[in-house]
Structure 1
Amino acid sequence: MKFSLKAVALTTLVASTALAAPIVEKRDANSDRIGACFVGLLLTGSWPGSCKAAMSVDLGLIRSIAINQMSMDFTTANPWAPTTASNDVVATMLSIPGVTLPIDSVRQHVIIIDNGVQLGSFDTPWSAASVKGGTMKTAFTTSTLNVFPDAKSAFSKFVGSLSTKASHPVTLKGAVDAKLNLGIFGHLTIPGIGFKTVVPIKGLDGLKNQKYIFAIDISPGIDGNTYMTSILNINNPSQLSLTLGDVNFDSTHKGAHIGISTVKNLKLIPGDNQVVSYTVLDMELEAARTFSQALYTSDEIMGIGGYANSSTNPALNAGLAAVKSGVTIPMNFQGLHLSQPPYKSWSLKISTARVATVTATFQSPYYGIPYEFTASNPSGYINQVKAGEGISNDAVEKQIWKFKDGLKFKVSGSGATTVSFEVDIPKTVSSIQAKAFTDMSNYAKANGGVIPITIDWMPMIIINGDGTERSVDWTTVGNALNDIKLTIGDDFANIFIK
């Protein structure tokens, strides 16, 4: 039969675990003694001292361990004491014919060993456990991994291995305390169940699978540098969820340094992760100028790599410094698109006092990145809505409204926000405009109360709580947003009131 061990799971920092290699069970005197101890326990409720000694050996009841999910947080005040947790730990146990161990909770005391060096230890709280068919499954909540003072260098190298390799083995050694439900005999806690096992951990494999997704904003700074705010997709091939804090990367082009890219509060879950990257191109460097100019004529690869001080956390820097990857930025950023329209469900109401109120629903077009809307009508651009194709032949007079200041709201990465706000309609209506508005009204009556619209809008927003206002392109034409519809009613006729 097989037992599960949860604490193991937590060990390392960068990886999720694959199943431990199967261990052929050895029937020796101690194994027989363990089997006899549990049979006696279930029959009599008694646990003699000799059983405690039999359980404490490294290869006794627990034969192997697998950690199938693990999270680690490296933003703790003490960089050498990250926290960890797991919701999926499985351990195999010694087969005891005819016996299913009634273990209902466990806690672990684990030492992590890499290349023969003891790196650190952690103790998990009591957590529920279940035994079925020779395996025990459990999980553990947040626990602190304390790196031993004389093992900091070894721990950093271990992090580096997990950062750059597809898989890295680690040895887990320690003891498990288990609570058993013995029915009429009540509950019994068995402390000090020893184990020592090698667990292969899936590594980050250099985070080499990165993709350039979208350019939110590219603008020159007053300092002469060029600032690029972009969305990247970083694939995490492990089963480890990592909280790393702010991380800086060396940006390069054809091997030459061109600037620094920063991901703030970097969090990586297994699979794809969309993150905001802030790149400062140092335009005093010839390589940066060459890179910028080359984007006008071809796709270009921007190298992304860690360096000695990528993080303020010294426990991470060795691992981050070994990360070398890159993203291909398409020529003129062509082919990049929003994840979804930034808005939907437009409607317009016009009162008899000619107050025009628009209602619309806003959502994040930035691949799950939240934003704060700060200005609807910044200077330097005509922010307006016009009737779409098929309504009026006069292209100049198809304007319905202009946006004005005062609109502010927030949108989460996955949610939507519906807001109402006033807009500016023409103060007086010329004969050409009257014809266009009449055409719009007639079109709506023949098409379920809606008309097609085009939106010219360059509002100001703050991305991902970074505190920086930036102008973004929300035009329908520039983003190929077709079939935007506006609902109008009979009150649309109030636009003609003088």
Structure 2
Amino acid sequence: IKGIPIDVRTSLAGLQGLNNIEFKVDVSMIPVAPEYIDYYIASTVNIRNPSQLTLNIGDLKLNAGLEGWTDADWLGTATVRNLRLVPGDNYVLSEVTTSTSHPIGMKFVQDLAVRDQKLTMWASSTSTSNSALNAGLSTLRSGVIVPKDLAVPKLPGYSDVWNIKVLPTTAQDGLVEMSTVFYNPYFVDMRVQGTCTKEENDLNPYPSVIQFYDTGIMGLEVMQFPEDISYSVKANGSTPLTFKMKLINSDRVKPRIDSLIALAAATGSLPIEPYWAPRIFVTGVPDVILPAWVDKTFYPGHLTLKTGPDFPTIKDWYNKSAADPVTLPPSPTPVEPVTPSPTAIPSPSPSSSPAVPSPVVSPSPAAPSPVVSPSPPIAPAA
């Protein structure tokens, strides 16, 4: 590379072909309108850099194949935007576009439901904007195991412990104060902006509610998530949040409210299940993603709702003869994101925040020429 006194092929050999790539979590898999035969798959992967080199590669586009590295195995294109590799772990957002009109693409999409698959990747003469780097990448042969159903142990989107506070005004407006800690399960920066509507995804729970449990088998839909809830969480970060939720004036709840109050008085808590479909924007994905964040997505059992001495006054709302329509309050102001404790999910080495276009959008402008520079003599991140 002009101006860099280091041989490209020799340096890239130290990367061991970038052959240590791990699938971490699916972010979005959607069929692309209007024909819905093209698929856009965004996922977070960890590219392990075994060398002591830091490389600013820029936009990287690779051929994607199924099981092999020949033209006969080709199914589409794999793209990582603004790639910067540092020694150790590099958590980045990867985009794969394929089409079910292509036999290999069809096989890949169909087999996702029945088996793990090896998604292969290899470079071309146009993989980057720099011809010297493309020459060095010409022997790259890498791959990642894509698990069946894109199923991996998911990091939680929220804590398994919540708190409720019944306010002096709850009897009049039906609003209670909830608080918990929200996490980021995607390894790249994310932002929650509201709650999914039925028109956006009729398969998601709507309205988004929290179910309470007493001694009965069936849960009770007691409160509804605000439609304009909003907060941001950095990659591998967390943020505590306090916000208001609206009680649901249901005839199913009224006969069991005394049972809920008695259980809360005896144990100081109640079992709950959130059925929430947030609207999420992830760095690098151009469109909103609409996951179903029900508690079974993250935890094997019910969550814990801690109650206080004010909880029995929740009954005053249900004792009202009629509930006036209530407008939910403005979005809560998120507190500054906090970094998880050392025993939490390990933070990745700094990586890019790719801006992934949709498959029908032209690629972003050419990335800057790559820079290869020795990293400080520090052991790679675990």
Is TM > 0.5 for Structure 1 vs Structure 2?
A: yes
Q: Who is 1:450 aligned against?
A: 269
> What is the correspondence of 1:56-455 to structure 2 with a 5 Å cutoff?
146-147=3-4, 158-163=7-12, 165=13, 203-223=14-34, 224-255=37-68, 256-334=73-151, 336-343=152-159, 345-350=161-166, 351-353=170-172, 354-366=174-186, 368-379=187-198, 380=202, 381=204, 382=206, 383-388=208-213, 391-393=214-216, 395=218, 398-426=220-248, 428-430=249-251, 432-447=252-267, 449-455=268-274
In the TM superposition, residue 242 of structure 1 has moved relative to its aligned partner by: 2.5
- Which 10-residue stretch deviates more, 259-268 or 205-214? 259-268
Query: Residues of 1 paired with 2:294 and 2:138: CA distance?
Result: 40
Q: Which amino acid aligns with 2:177?
A: T
Q: Which amino acid aligns with 1:378?
A: T
Query: Residues of 2 paired with 1:467 and 1:274: CA distance?
Result: 18
Query: Which structure 1 residue ranges, 5 or more long, are not aligned?
Result: 1-79, 81-119, 121-145, 149-154, 166-202
Stretches of 4+ aligned residues off by more than 6 angstroms = none
Aligned residue among 302, 307, 324 for 1:488: 307
Please report the TM-score for the alignment, with normalisation by the length of structure 2.
0.72
Q: Which amino acid aligns with 1:444?
A: A
- Whether the 8 Å contact between 1:217 and 1:229 is mirrored in structure 2 is yes
Structure scoring higher RCO (CA < 8 A, sep ≥ 6) equals 2
In structure 2, do the counterparts of structure 1 residues 246 and 429 end up closer, same or farther at CA, with 3 Å as the change threshold? Answer: same
Please report the TM-score for the alignment, with normalisation by the length of structure 1.
0.56
Q: Which amino acid aligns with 2:16?
A: D
In structure 2, do the counterparts of structure 1 residues 289 and 440 end up closer, same or farther at CA, with 3 Å as the change threshold? Answer: same
Superposition CA RMSD, Å = 2.3
- Whether the 8 Å contact between 2:125 and 2:131 is mirrored in structure 1 is no
Q: If each structure's strand is expressed as a fraction of its own residues, which one has the higher value?
A: 1
Query: Residues of 2 paired with 1:473 and 1:314: CA distance?
Result: 44
Query: Residues of 2 paired with 1:478 and 1:363: CA distance?
Result: 14
CA offsets 1:164-222 (integer angstroms, 9 cap, x no match): x2xxxxxxxxxxxxxxxxxxxxxxxxxxxxxxxxxxxxx10101111212212211110
Q: Who is 1:53 aligned against?
A: none
| Secondary structure at the counterpart of residue 258 of structure 2 | helix
Query: Residues of 1 paired with 2:65 and 2:285: CA distance?
Result: 24
- Whether the 8 Å contact between 1:204 and 1:238 is mirrored in structure 2 is yes
Query: Residues of 1 paired with 2:67 and 2:163: CA distance?
Result: 50
In the TM superposition, residue 241 of structure 1 has moved relative to its aligned partner by: 2.5
Q: Which amino acid aligns with 2:243?
A: F
Query: Residues of 2 paired with 1:462 and 1:161: CA distance?
Result: 39
Query: Residues of 2 paired with 1:340 and 1:268: CA distance?
Result: 27
Query: Residues of 2 paired with 1:324 and 1:480: CA distance?
Result: 37
Q: Who is 2:373 aligned against?
A: none
| Secondary structure at the counterpart of residue 469 of structure 1 | coil
Query: Residues of 2 paired with 1:341 and 1:261: CA distance?
Result: 27
In the TM superposition, residue 287 of structure 1 has moved relative to its aligned partner by: 0.7
Query: Which structure 2 residue ranges, 5 or more long, are not aligned?
Result: 321-382
In the TM superposition, residue 301 of structure 1 has moved relative to its aligned partner by: 0.8
The count of aligned residue pairs is 301
The structure with more radius of gyration = 1
Q: Which amino acid aligns with 2:22?
A: K
In structure 2, do the counterparts of structure 1 residues 344 and 376 end up closer, same or farther at CA, with 3 Å as the change threshold? Answer: farther
Q: Which amino acid aligns with 1:159?
A: V
Query: Residues of 2 paired with 1:435 and 1:319: CA distance?
Result: 72
In structure 2, do the counterparts of structure 1 residues 309 and 412 end up closer, same or farther at CA, with 3 Å as the change threshold? Answer: same
| Secondary structure at the counterpart of residue 443 of structure 1 | helix
Query: Residues of 2 paired with 1:429 and 1:460: CA distance?
Result: 26
